[in-house]
Structure 1
């Protein structure tokens, strides 16, 4: 009889501990998805840095479990990020045959958010919008 009481007390203690642990995880904001988060805010602004640029356009992009957000071509943008392993810098074209004027009117592109659960923060400034447009692919094409 005494062994049964000890077992019941131990089982009750374990269950209480698991319930407390589960409640603590839910309160801490543990994701309820099988997919790690992949969501970003993308901006295009006039200025020499993200801190001083006037944002002209901004979109949201989510990629897991499906492509979405306010990006006009979320599927293509997510495909670019997937090929680049979530690194926005690697989605840009290395060269272009486009001829651009030598006018200095800086344009800054930014991407901030998470890719497969890891923090992403990207900023790149181009001398003008022509140069920026000649280098962007689907990710910043909005």
Structure 2
């Protein structure tokens, strides 16, 4: 009878200790979102596909940062709900000089995946078609 009472007391003590330990361990915070809802990784490659002259940056829009012209680029993207192909073309005269530039955007806008790639004849044509979004040179 003593063994049974001692075993029950030990089990009760272990249970109490486990409950105290569980209460003492702080609850882990929910995983923090690393990127805002609207973000794009942008690259601009000058020259042909074999070129090593590639510049890139992460554009975040909540709040605008990570890009030389983040405020303007985010406003332009917000106006077309993140659809780069829908950005309105600016009425500018660009030289007929072939100096190709390829732009690429990968990321997320309003919960949708964004994947955009386009090659323009030159940086003037790129700027006329994409505004400040790919203006990475400052």
Please tell me the TM-score bracket, short chain as reference.
Answer: 0.5 to 0.7
Describe how 1:1-142 pairs up with structure 2 within 5 A: 31=33, 37-47=37-47, 52=50, 54-64=52-62, 66-69=63-66, 71-93=67-89, 96-101=91-96, 103-142=97-136
How far has the Cα of 1:98 moved from its partner? 1.0
SS at match of 2:75: helix
Contact 2:40–2:60 (8 Å) recurs in 1 = yes
Contact 2:87–2:129 (8 Å) recurs in 1 = no
- Taking the aligned partners of 1:129 and 1:32, their CA distance within structure 2 comes to 32
**Which structure has the bigger radius of gyration?**
2
Q: Deviations over 1:13-67 (max 9, x none)?
A: xxxxxxxxxx9xx5xx68499xx62111111112456xx5544321211112x11
TM-score by length of 2: 0.63
Unaligned runs of 5+ residues in structure 1 are: 1-22
Q: CA RMSD in A?
A: 2.8
Contact 1:45–1:55 (8 Å) recurs in 2 = yes
